[in-house]
């Protein structure tokens, strides 16, 4: 499945949210948007939004009940592939997503192996979720995270 124009617009919004992240030498700056089937934004989040250990998807998901009926047809947009392993908290963003009925995940950039070997996209696909990568927007995410890539 390919990304639609509305997918790209929501993903750009997630990428813009990443600009609000306080920079960290040990974590990516990521933005996330959760939208319903009609494109109405249900929640947003960005890395380190309320706590230095917050991940974007985690921050957005925390604003909704995991059993919110709107999530059954929602899409989670993340500037970076959802993490499958993390050091700062016990549950990865992939696990948090799988604890909801969200059927679609759209992201721009696969997480590079600077900190962990991420398998979020593969795990979500294996669990039956539709995962769409939009690599033509990855350069925007790399730009936001240039402070990590110049090491």
DSSP letter for 3, please: P
Starting at the earlier edge strand, list the strands of the sheet with 41-46: 41-46, 31-35, 75-80, 104-109, 130-133
CA atoms within 13 A on the CB side of 75: 23
Q: Which of 16, 49, 57, 111 is catalytic?
A: 57
Residues 6+ apart with CB under 8 A from 12: 137, 140
Q: For 135, list phi and psi in degrees, rounded to 5.
A: -65, -20
Max Cα distance, the chain (Å) = 44
57 part of the active site: yes
Token readout for 140 is 């925007």
Distance CA 76, CA 82 (A): 10
Active site residues: 57
């Amino acid at each position: 499945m390919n990304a639609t124009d509305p997918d790209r617009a929501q993903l750009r919004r997630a990428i813009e949210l990443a600009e609000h992240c306080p920079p960290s030498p040990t974590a990516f700056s990521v933005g996330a948007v959760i939208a319903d089937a009609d494109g109405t934004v249900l929640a947003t989040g960005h890395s380190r939004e309320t706590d230095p250990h917050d991940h974007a998807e985690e921050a957005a998901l925390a604003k909704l009940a995991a059993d919110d009926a709107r999530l059954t047809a929602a899409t989670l947009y993340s500037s970076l592939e959802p993490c499958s392993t993390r050091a700062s908290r016990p549950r990865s963003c992939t696990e948090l997503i799988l604890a909801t009925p969200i059927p679609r995940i759209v992201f721009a950039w696969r997480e590079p192996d600077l900190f962990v070997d991420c398998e979020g996209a593969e795990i979500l696909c294996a669990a039956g979720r539709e995962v769409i990568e939009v690599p033509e927007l990855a350069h925007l995410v790399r730009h936001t995270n240039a402070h990590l890539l110049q090491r």
